[in-house]
Amino acid sequence: MDRYAVIGNPIAHSKSPPIHGLFARQTGEQLQYEALLAPLDDFAGTLRDFLQEGRGVNVTVPFKEQAWALVDSRTPAAERAGAVNTIQRLDDGSLLGDNTDGKGLVRDIQHNAGLPLAGKRILLIGAGGAARGVIQPLLEAGPAQLCVVNRTVEKAEQLAMLFKDQGPISAAGFDWLEESVDLIINATSASLDGQLPPLPPSLIRPGHTWCYDMMYASEATVFNRWADEQGAARCIDGLGMLVEQAAEAFFLWRGVRPDTAPVLASLRQRG
């Protein structure tokens, strides 16, 4: 039976094993999927040992950039993102790296939540690996403007320069922000620490602006609680993105696209 795994540190909290287990049962694919804890100083060894027999892996924090450097080839999405979250061992033994995060985010927003991104003004908070990994798919969706905002403006400006050939992208610091936007995406990990980026309430037009936190928890994140207090039209967490990016990985590995709706519903029910 083909073996797959998610590798990270920490990893015990990962929902990837139950997600791929549900995908496998739904599609009739025969596979095993497990979670592997890699030492912080030896991700490469953990990856190498597993892929001697394993067919593929998902990669999570903090190893996505290391994975990018270790694969033999990359998809265009992974090349631009500078990070790999999905690896497939090809028939010749070489490793193909992909980044499915951005596709997962865009599909969750447009398909699951029902917000078309074409023509929208989008604010992306953060300029780290999570933000970089979703910029190209967001621009491919055709927004009127994508503004990357970060405490260190230079980092946001570097991302804007990197992706300027892909669509209308700009950079800003938090103190530059005034006008409301259609969608705010929090790509920082601040929610994990209960922290809120310094966002002015004027960004949210009550009843109109949508807010999306790429983090998820059993309760609303501090970012989504803040957005709800400002009157945001919708406040969405990142669980749907997790399921959708997993479906993209499953499709890469198995050539079968699972139905994500019942899987997401099952995870919501579990809490």
pLDDT tens, position by position, 223-234: 999 999 999 999
Rounded CA-CA distance 241/19 in Å is 12
Domain span holding position 75: 2-99
Q: Kindly state whether residues 194 and 112 are assigned to the same domain.
A: yes
Q: Kindly state whether residues 183 and 141 are assigned to the same domain.
A: yes
Per-residue tokens: 143: 């927004």
Q: Kindly state whether residues 235 and 121 are assigned to the same domain.
A: yes
pTM here is 0.94
The verdict on whether residue 245 carries a ligand-binding annotation is yes
**Domain-located, residue 254:** no
The verdict on whether residue 180 carries a ligand-binding annotation is no
Q: Chunked in runs of 10, what are the mean pLDDT values of the chain (271 residues)?
A: 96 95 98 98 98 97 94 95 96 97 97 98 94 96 98 96 97 94 94 88 97 92 97 97 98 98 94 71
Rounded CA-CA distance 114/170 in Å is 25
Rounded CA-CA distance 71/97 in Å is 6
Which CATH number do you get for residue 87? 3.40.50.10860
Q: Kindly state whether residues 62 and 130 are assigned to the same domain.
A: no
What per-residue confidence (pLDDT) applies to 192?
77
Q: Kindly state whether residues 232 and 107 are assigned to the same domain.
A: yes
Q: Kindly state whether residues 125 and 194 are assigned to the same domain.
A: yes
Rounded CA-CA distance 241/228 in Å is 20
Burial class (CB in 10 A: 0-12, 13-18, 19+), 153: middle
pLDDT tens, position by position, 47-80: 999 999 999 999 998 999 999 999 999 999 999 9
Rounded CA-CA distance 53/2 in Å is 8
How many structural domains compose the chain?
A: 2
- The closest of 46, 98, 93 to 253, measured between CA atoms, is 98
**Domain-located, residue 205:** yes
The verdict on whether residue 114 carries a ligand-binding annotation is no
Which CATH number do you get for residue 170? 3.40.50.720
The verdict on whether residue 127 carries a ligand-binding annotation is yes
Tell me the β-bridge partners of 172.
Answer: 149
Q: Kindly state whether residues 119 and 194 are assigned to the same domain.
A: yes
Q: Kindly state whether residues 55 and 95 are assigned to the same domain.
A: yes
The verdict on whether residue 103 carries a ligand-binding annotation is no
Burial class (CB in 10 A: 0-12, 13-18, 19+), 69: exposed
The verdict on whether residue 80 carries a ligand-binding annotation is no
What per-residue confidence (pLDDT) applies to 190?
86
What per-residue confidence (pLDDT) applies to 189?
84
**Domain-located, residue 67:** yes
Q: Kindly state whether residues 146 and 223 are assigned to the same domain.
A: yes
Rounded CA-CA distance 183/121 in Å is 7
What per-residue confidence (pLDDT) applies to 199?
94
Q: Which helix (H) or strand (E) holds 124?
A: strand 121-125
pLDDT tens, position by position, 149-176: 999 999 999 999 999 999 999 999 999 9
Coil, strand, or helix at residue 95? strand
Residue 103 annotated in active site? no
Rounded CA-CA distance 78/158 in Å is 18
